[in-house]
Structure 1
Amino acid sequence: MVQGIYARVSERHDLTPVQAKLLCLLLAGPRGMAELAHCFGVERAALTGLMDRAERRGLAQRSAVPGDRRALQVTLTDAGRQAAIAFHAEVSAELDRLTSSLAPQDREHFRTVMAEIIARRRASSAASW
């Protein structure tokens, strides 16, 4: 159900679900290509095509990492930031509608539990990275 929402909203924003994920990941700030590859579960080389398309559309850009001439970092352009914010807001609204029929305390319990699951997943992923 959540993936369906993600796909429909990304289509309405003229993004693929993978491009939308990339933009949302970059909302927190620049990320290295190796870190992004890890987030997507692919090799760095496989991320190159995604980045080529994002750059052609003016959504993101790669730049050298100071002090490491082999490494690249990825940042959002202004257009990419606007697209990411709009996408994220619409997905959040759609997801809020899913829980709107719950009592307020049940909705808060659901959010708390999901936040804990996400935090543990991120911590586990960061530790393995």
Structure 2
Amino acid sequence: MTTDAPRGTTASRATDRPGDTSPFALGLLLRKAHWRVAAVMAEALRPLGIELRHFAVLIVLIDRGSTVQRDLAAATGSDKAGIMRIVDDLERKGLAVRKSVPGDRRARAVEITPQGVELFDAAHVAAEPLVERLVAELGPGEPERLKDLLTRLAYPVGGEE
């Protein structure tokens, strides 16, 4: 299938290289940045015996407290089977526990354990020097500016998506 650019315009084709001016450039850069940051975060978590998928669930549990599995799945972008495997892993490691939900015999809520909170805090300590290395090439104030811009992109005013 061929698609011609409208007459009088020059199509800018995505190249996935620095300086790409295509309409896909932002998404491609965000994807590459995500991969790089995810690798650094995985490096911080590896010695603690967990992966990013586990940490994502711990983040939700710290933020929301006891959370039913279906809501954990939605909050982390996991499917039902995936969230069950993650919670199984966390339970085996003593980082979370499942509890019955009063009034709903089928639902199970997940709670973080004191060991889970300790690991959560240790992960932040472990990540600090790695994040500093990650943003070392940015100038003064740029890491904060980048976080601000990404926050505004991820959470637009009015909740548009």
| Equivalent pair of 2:45/2:126 in contact (CA under 8 Å) | no
| TM-score normalised by L of structure 1 | 0.78
After TM superposition, list the pairs within 5 Å mapping 1:1-129 onto structure 2.
1-28=36-63, 29-120=65-156
Q: Deviations over 1:3-25 (max 9, x none)?
A: 11122111111112322222222
Q: RMSD over aligned Cα, in angstroms?
A: 2.3
Tell which deviates more after alignment, 85-94 or 55-64.
Answer: 85-94
Quick check: which has more Rg, 1 or 2? 2
> Among the aligned pairs, what percent are the same residue?
27
Give unmatched runs, 5+ long, in structure 1.
none
Alignment-mate amino acid for residue 103 of structure 1? G
How many residues get paired? 123
- Displacement, 1:74? 0.9
Alignment-mate amino acid for residue 68 of structure 2? G
| Equivalent pair of 1:24/1:88 in contact (CA under 8 Å) | no
- Displacement, 1:83? 0.5
Alignment-mate amino acid for residue 95 of structure 1? V
| Equivalent pair of 1:54/1:60 in contact (CA under 8 Å) | yes
| Equivalent pair of 1:9/1:87 in contact (CA under 8 Å) | yes
| Cα distance in 1 for residues equivalent to 2:139 and 2:38 | 24
Give unmatched runs, 5+ long, in structure 2.
1-35
Tell which deviates more after alignment, 69-78 or 38-47.
Answer: 38-47
Alignment-mate amino acid for residue 21 of structure 1? A
Alignment-mate amino acid for residue 69 of structure 1? R
Q: Which has the higher contact order (CA 8 A, sep 6+)?
A: 1
- Displacement, 1:93? 4.0
| Cα distance in 2 for residues equivalent to 1:16 and 1:107 | 24
| Equivalent pair of 1:62/1:72 in contact (CA under 8 Å) | yes
Distance 1:35 1:104, change over 3 A: same
Task: Please state which structure has a larger fraction of its residues in helix.
Answer: 1
SS at match of 2:108: strand
SS at match of 1:4: helix
Alignment-mate amino acid for residue 16 of structure 1? E
| Equivalent pair of 1:30/1:73 in contact (CA under 8 Å) | yes
| TM-score normalised by L of structure 2 | 0.64
